[in-house]
């Protein structure tokens, strides 16, 4: 409450005029009168809101809840009794924020499962469409390698391994592309791409069979489609969190998170590969040998620590395969002539 | 013009730098703790401080927006604009990957559409901010159409390369006039009839300086490249050239450009009237350079964290240079009926994450 009769400025909230006023204290409020003594308004103490000091410290500002647009500036006044402070603490803001954070964290944790569930309901035809598009993109950048003998041998090997997959996933399309990368990738919709570098490095057909069994497990468990959906999900989530829609944060987050998420998929594919090899009657020793070979190529250590790279460390993967190895002595997965045809599918002599 | 009636400087900024930096640092901490969800409330706190530091004719300006409004606006834009746009972009990318020409066509529509939406969003954001700006209890406001403004912006951007940049002074002023003509206080509008007649001389000097500098630098680069092709190694003497060239860029390009900008602001303010009072801005080239370089350094070295300080410097600068010839008839200005949008700035906050402070 105001101490005594004071002068001030009044804005009625209807026009931008500023009136000089005199203020009179009442028992339960303040009376605002014009300089001519004419009564303008009576503001009840219970409705008064302290609007703080005038910038520069030349008076106090006040409002009245009953007339939200009106403003009062009291010159050289002090409050002798506290009036309601503006900006009292609201629990709703931190509550809303905690809820928001909880939703984001929940979405982040649920994302891998969510993506998997969505991938399961995507029709096979749609998924094949995605895979074809991506594979076509690769084929425009790299030469596709094809020879009748080589493709026949590869198809036979893939069909033998794919027999362990769910029936609708068995029709796998395999392409060999002329590129030095020692890699093979599974695409959505039962597409597998093998790069020439992998065929060059593989020492015997069982090594190739191991890699193919690994990629076929990805196909059987629909990992590529789930990855695609998850990548988009991570991007959307990153945008929701940071508000950056330029895609920079989103793609960076997608890359880092893809690495973290896919390690589980890779371990699952290694386990599944062992099962497929066993069902096809192919030994798993070649699979382990291939990882040892990769380790040598990588120079003993991967460039990236395991938690960042998409694949678990090759040495530990080889050890895991060895631990589950089939002790039986089995014939090689391809005959010599077939293996030669596969090795020279890109036109290079063995 | 100033001598007819006495020009006054009714605007003053009382905000302290320390308080603003403190708010910026607290906002940073809270943004980290809340996975950046705090940013809407943080932005609001900064604006409260910026707005309430300004007095006009000794009465303070108020900002009445809330963080909740910004947050809701963001969520709406996320669902209505961002997610559909993301879907379209993903689809277009997939088509491009498969070599379908439709993908390229779709992308060539989506890019301008995104720019268009950002321009429209910026205009809507301005409407929100003005509707939350009060003085003597009377709200500001903005009329006009966000789509109309976005179309005009697109036209200027399209003409820019076609005219080798020469459309810029006219285009920039055209857009500024649209914004100012649609700016209201209470039930009255501002009026801007600023022309660009006196600006093209300054623009020509800036344009020639920039062209000459870019030409010279590219010539030097080509020369160095050719030399290194002949000798097979990079000339060691070329390395110290880089800081010299950067310094050259500051002197040769920034100075004439600031001269043009100063002229632009003076013309824009000088062409603006409100209820019989005419504005003017005593912007000089040197003060503008000092403001921009200072702001650039603050943003750069604080990695954007101290952008509220940058905003404070701009507010202070504007309050310091703006003068008004005559006093508007405030008693004749009534409260406007338009209370402004219920939520704020969604489109810009989601499409252009950098945004304002």
Q: Write out chain A in H/E/C secondary structure.
A: CECCCEEEEEECCCECCCEEEEEEEECCEEEEEECCCCEEEEEEHHHEEEEEECCCCCCEEEEECCEEEEEEEECCCCECCCCEECCCCCCHHHHHHHHHHHHHHHHHHHHHHHHHHHHHHCCHHHHHHHHHHHHHHHHHHCCEECCHHHHHHHHHHHHHHHCCCCHHHCCCEEEEECCCCCCEEEECCCEEEEEHHHHHHCCCHHHHHHHHHHHHHHHHCCHHHHHHHHHHHHHHHHHHHHCCCCCHHHHHHHHHHHHHHHHHHHHHHHHHHHHHHHHHCCCCHHHHHHHHHHHHHCCCCCCCCCCCCCCCCHHHHHHHHHHCCCCCCCCCCCCHHHHHHHHCCCCCCC
Helices A205-220 and A285-297: angle between axes, nearest 10 degrees: 100
Query: Closest Cα partner for A295 from A270, A280, A316, A276?
Result: A316
Mean pLDDT estimate for chain A: 80
Quickly state the pLDDT bin for A217 (edges 50, 70, 90). Answer: very high
Tell me if chain B has a CB within 8 Å of the CB of A32: no
pLDDT at B354 over 50: no
Judge contact between B157 and B111, C-beta under 8 A.
no
Residues B215 and B311 in one domain: no
Q: What's the confidence (pLDDT) of residue A246?
A: 58
Residues B259 and B242 in one domain: yes
Residues B158 and B79 in one domain: yes
Judge contact between A185 and A198, C-beta under 8 A.
no
Please state which of the ranges A68-82, A205-219, B214-228 shows the lowest mean pLDDT: A68-82
Q: What's the confidence (pLDDT) of residue A85?
A: 56
A63 or A103, which is more confident: A63
Judge contact between A130 and A189, C-beta under 8 A.
yes
Which of B136, B186, B316 to mutate to probe the A interface, most A CBs <10 Å? B136
How far apart (Å, rounded) are the C-alpha atoms in residues A217 and A22?
Answer: 86
Q: What's the confidence (pLDDT) of residue A291?
A: 82
**Order of strands, sheet of B272-274, starting from the edge strand that comes earlier in the sequence:** B7-8, B322-325, B277-281, B272-274, B191-192
Quote the number of domains for chain B: 3
Q: Which residues make Cβ contacts (< 8 Å) with residue B148, sequence separation at least 6?
A: B178
Residues B101 and B172 in one domain: yes
B330/A16 Cβ within 8 A? yes
Structural domain contains residue B51: yes
pLDDT at A59 over 70: yes
Bridge partners (DSSP) listed for residue A193: A175, A185
pLDDT at B13 over 70: yes
Quickly state the pLDDT bin for B2 (edges 50, 70, 90). Answer: very low
Last residue of a domain, one of B219, B245, B270: B270
Chain B residue with Cα closest to A129: B98
B12/A96 Cβ within 8 A? no
Q: What's the confidence (pLDDT) of residue A79?
A: 55
Tell me if chain A has a CB within 8 Å of the CB of B56: no
Tell me if chain A has a CB within 8 Å of the CB of B38: yes
Please state which of the ranges A57-61, A88-92, A148-152, B99-103 shows the lowest mean pLDDT: A88-92
Distance, C-alpha B342 to centroid of its chain: 23
How far apart (Å, rounded) are the C-alpha atoms in residues B137 and A67?
Answer: 10
Structural domain contains residue B287: yes
A133/B136 Cβ within 8 A? no
Which of A15, A34, A95 to mutate to probe the B interface, most B CBs <10 Å? A15
Q: What's the confidence (pLDDT) of residue A307?
A: 44
Q: What's the confidence (pLDDT) of residue B6?
A: 59
Query: Closest Cα partner for A55 from B21, B312, B53, B12?
Result: B53
> At residue B301, what are phi and psi to the nearest 5 degrees?
-75, -20
Percent of chain B with pLDDT over 70: 90
In chain B, residues with a C-beta closer than 8 Å to the C-beta of A235 are 86
User: Which candidate from B54, B136, B351 shows the least CB-CB separation from A11?
Assistant: B136
- Which domain range does residue B123 map to? 68-187+339-352
Q: What pLDDT digit, counting tens, does each position of A89-133 carry?
A: 677 777 877 887 888 788 878 888 888 888 888 888 778 888 888
Which of B30, B60, B190 to mutate to probe the A interface, most A CBs <10 Å? B60
As given in the structure block, the two tokens for residue B174 are 């055209």
**Order of strands, sheet of B188-189, starting from the edge strand that comes earlier in the sequence:** B11-13, B54-56, B59-63, B133-135, B138-142, B183-185, B188-189
Radius of gyration of chain B (CA): 23
How far apart (Å, rounded) are the C-alpha atoms in residues B40 and B36?
Answer: 9
User: Which candidate from A96, A130, A243 shows the least CB-CB separation from B349?
Assistant: A243
Tell me if chain A has a CB within 8 Å of the CB of B6: no
Residues B51 and B110 in one domain: no
Judge contact between A194 and A177, C-beta under 8 A.
yes
Structural domain contains residue B1: no
Residues B208 and B256 in one domain: yes
Residues B88 and B41 in one domain: no
Distance from CA of B58 to the nearest CA of A (A): 9
Percent of chain A with pLDDT over 90: 12
Tell me if chain A has a CB within 8 Å of the CB of B299: no
Domain boundaries, chain A: 6-85, 98-343
Residues B318 and B345 in one domain: no
Q: Which residues make Cβ contacts (< 8 Å) with residue A307, sequence separation at least 6?
A: A259, A260, A263
B335/A56 Cβ within 8 A? no
Judge contact between A196 and A350, C-beta under 8 A.
no
Q: What's the confidence (pLDDT) of residue A189?
A: 84
Query: A6-85, which class in CATH?
Result: mainly beta
pLDDT at B223 over 70: yes
User: Which candidate from B37, B54, B334 shows the least CB-CB separation from A14?
Assistant: B334
Chain B residue with Cα closest to A141: B97
Tell me if chain A has a CB within 8 Å of the CB of B304: no
As given in the structure block, the two tokens for residue A226 are 């789930």
Compute the C-alpha angle A49/A51/A53, nearest 5°.
Answer: 140
Percent of chain A with pLDDT over 70: 81
Query: Closest Cα partner for B269 from B352, B192, B336?
Result: B192
How far apart (Å, rounded) are the C-alpha atoms in residues A252 and B189?
Answer: 46
How far apart (Å, rounded) are the C-alpha atoms in residues B55 and B59?
Answer: 5
Percent of chain B with pLDDT over 90: 50
3-state DSSP of chain B: CCCCCCEECCEEECCCHHHHHHHHHHHHHHHHHCCCCCHHHHHHHHHHHHHHCEEECCEEEEECCCHHHHHHHHHHHHHHHHHHHHHHHHHHHHHHHCCCHHHHHHHHHHHHHHHHHHHHHHHHHHHHHHHCEEECCEEEEECCCHHHHHHHHHHHHHHHHHCCCCCHHHHHHHHHHHHHHCEEECCEECEECCCCCCHHHHHHHHHHHHHHHHHHHHHHHHHHHHHHHHHCCCCHHHCCHHHHHHHHHHHHHHHHHHHHHHHHHHHHHHCEEECCEEEEECCCHHHHHHHHHHHHHHHHHCCCCCHHHHHHHHHHHHHHHEEEECCCCHHHCECCCCCCCCCCCHHHHHHCCCCCC
Q: Which residues make Cβ contacts (< 8 Å) with residue B207, sequence separation at least 6?
A: B165, B166
A236/B86 Cβ within 8 A? yes
User: Which candidate from B35, B332, B350 shows the least CB-CB separation from A241?
Assistant: B35
In chain A, residues with a C-beta closer than 8 Å to the C-beta of B138 are 11, 13, 15-16, 69
pLDDT at B57 over 80: yes
User: Which candidate from B330, B335, B355 shows the least CB-CB separation from A13?
Assistant: B335
Residues B124 and B73 in one domain: yes
Judge contact between A31 and A23, C-beta under 8 A.
yes
Query: Closest Cα partner for A178 from A134, A138, A212?
Result: A138
Judge contact between B169 and B262, C-beta under 8 A.
no
Quickly state the pLDDT bin for B273 (edges 50, 70, 90). Answer: very high
Mean pLDDT estimate for chain B: 86
Surface of B (77-96) touching A: CB under 8 A: 78, 82-83, 86, 90, 94-95
In chain B, residues with a C-beta closer than 8 Å to the C-beta of A56 are 12, 14, 55
Quickly state the pLDDT bin for A251 (edges 50, 70, 90). Answer: low
Distance from CA of A131 to the nearest CA of B (A): 10
- Work out the number of other CB atoms within 10 angstroms of the CB of residue B118: 18
How far apart (Å, rounded) are the C-alpha atoms in residues A323 and A317?
Answer: 10
Structural domain contains residue B357: no
Q: What's the confidence (pLDDT) of residue A253?
A: 66
Please state which of the ranges A307-316, B47-56, B119-128, B276-285 shows the lowest mean pLDDT: A307-316
């Amino acid at each position: 409450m105001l101490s005594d009769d004071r002068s001030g400025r009044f804005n009625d909230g209807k026009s931008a005029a500023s009136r000089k006023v005199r203020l009179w204290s009442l028992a339960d409020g303040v009376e605002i009168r014009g300089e001519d003594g004419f009564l303008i308004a009576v503001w009840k103490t219970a409705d008064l809101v302290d609007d703080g000091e005038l910038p520069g410290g030349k008076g106090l500002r006040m409002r009245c809840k009953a007339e939200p647009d009106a403003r009062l500036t009291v010159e050289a006044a002090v409050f002798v009794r506290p009036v309601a402070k503006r900006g009292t603490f609201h629990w709703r803001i931190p509550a809303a924020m905690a809820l928001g954070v909880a939703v984001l964290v929940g979405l982040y944790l649920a994302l891998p499962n969510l993506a998997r569930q969505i991938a399961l309901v995507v029709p096979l035809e749609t998924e094949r469409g995605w895979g074809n598009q991506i594979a076509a993109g690769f084929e425009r950048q790299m030469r596709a390698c094809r020879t009748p003998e080589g493709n026949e041998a590869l198809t036979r090997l893939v069909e033998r391994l794919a027999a362990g997959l769910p029936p609708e996933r068995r029709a796998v399309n395999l392409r060999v592309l002329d590129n030095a990368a020692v890699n093979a990738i599974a695409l959505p919709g039962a597409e597998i791409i093998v790069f020439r570098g992998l065929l060059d490095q593989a020492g015997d057909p069982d090594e190739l069979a191991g890699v193919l069994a690994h990629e076929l497990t990805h196909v059987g468990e629909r990992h590529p489609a789930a990855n695609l959906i998850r990548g988009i999900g991570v991007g959307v989530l990153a945008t929701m969190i940071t508000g950056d829609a330029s895609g920079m944060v989103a793609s960076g987050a997608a890359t880092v998170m893809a690495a973290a998420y896919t390690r589980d998929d890779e371990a699952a594919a290694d386990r599944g590969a062992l099962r497929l090899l066993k069902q096809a009657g192919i030994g798993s020793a070649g699979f382990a040998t291939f990882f040892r070979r990769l380790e040598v190529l990588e120079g003993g250590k991967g460039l990236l620590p395991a938690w960042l790279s998409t694949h678990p460390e090759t040495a530990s993967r080889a050890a895991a395969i060895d631990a589950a190895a089939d002790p039986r002595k089995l014939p090689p997965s391809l005959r010599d002539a077939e293996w030669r045809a596969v090795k020279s599918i890109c036109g290079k002599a063995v | 013009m100033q001598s007819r009636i006495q020009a006054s400087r009714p605007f003053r900024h009382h905000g302290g730098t320390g308080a603003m930096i403190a708010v910026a640092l607290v906002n940073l901490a809270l943004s980290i703790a809340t996975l950046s969800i705090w940013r809407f409330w943080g932005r609001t706190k900064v604006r409260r401080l910026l707005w309430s530091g300004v007095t006009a004719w000794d009465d303070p300006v108020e900002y009445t927006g809330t963080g909740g409004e910004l947050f809701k606006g963001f969520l709406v834009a996320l669902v209505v604009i961002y997610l559909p746009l993301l879907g379209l972009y993903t689809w277009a990318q997939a088509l491009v990957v498969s070599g379908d020409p439709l993908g390229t066509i779709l992308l060539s529509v989506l890019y301008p559409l995104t720019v268009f939406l950002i321009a429209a969003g910026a205009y809507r954001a301005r409407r929100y901010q003005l509707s939350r700006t009060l003085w003597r209890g009377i709200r500001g406001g903005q009329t006009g159409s966000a789509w109309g403004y976005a179309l005009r912006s697109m036209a200027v951007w399209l003409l820019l390369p076609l005219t080798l940049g020469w459309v810029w002074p006219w285009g920039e002023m055209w857009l500024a006039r649209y914004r100012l003509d649609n700016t209201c206080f209470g039930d009255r509008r501002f009026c801007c009839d600023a022309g660009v007649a006196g600006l093209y001389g300054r623009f020509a000097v800036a344009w020639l300086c920039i062209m000459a500098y870019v030409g010279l630098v590219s010539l030097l680069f080509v020369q160095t490249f050719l030399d290194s092709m002949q000798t097979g190694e990079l000339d060691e003497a070329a390395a110290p050239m880089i800081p010299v060239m950067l310094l050259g860029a500051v002197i040769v390009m920034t100075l004439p450009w600031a001269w043009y900008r100063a002229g632009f602001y003076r013309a824009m303010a000088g062409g603006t009237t409100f209820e019989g009072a005419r504005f003017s801005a005593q912007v000089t080239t040197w003060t503008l350079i000092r403001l921009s370089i200072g702001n650039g350094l603050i943003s750069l070295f604080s990695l954007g964290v101290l952008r509220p300080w940058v905003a404070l410097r701009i507010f202070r600068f504007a309050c310091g240079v703006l003068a008004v010839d005559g006093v508007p008839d405030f008693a004749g200005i009534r409260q406007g009926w338009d209370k402004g949008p219920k939520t704020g700035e969604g489109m810009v906050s989601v499409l252009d994450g950098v945004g304002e402070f």
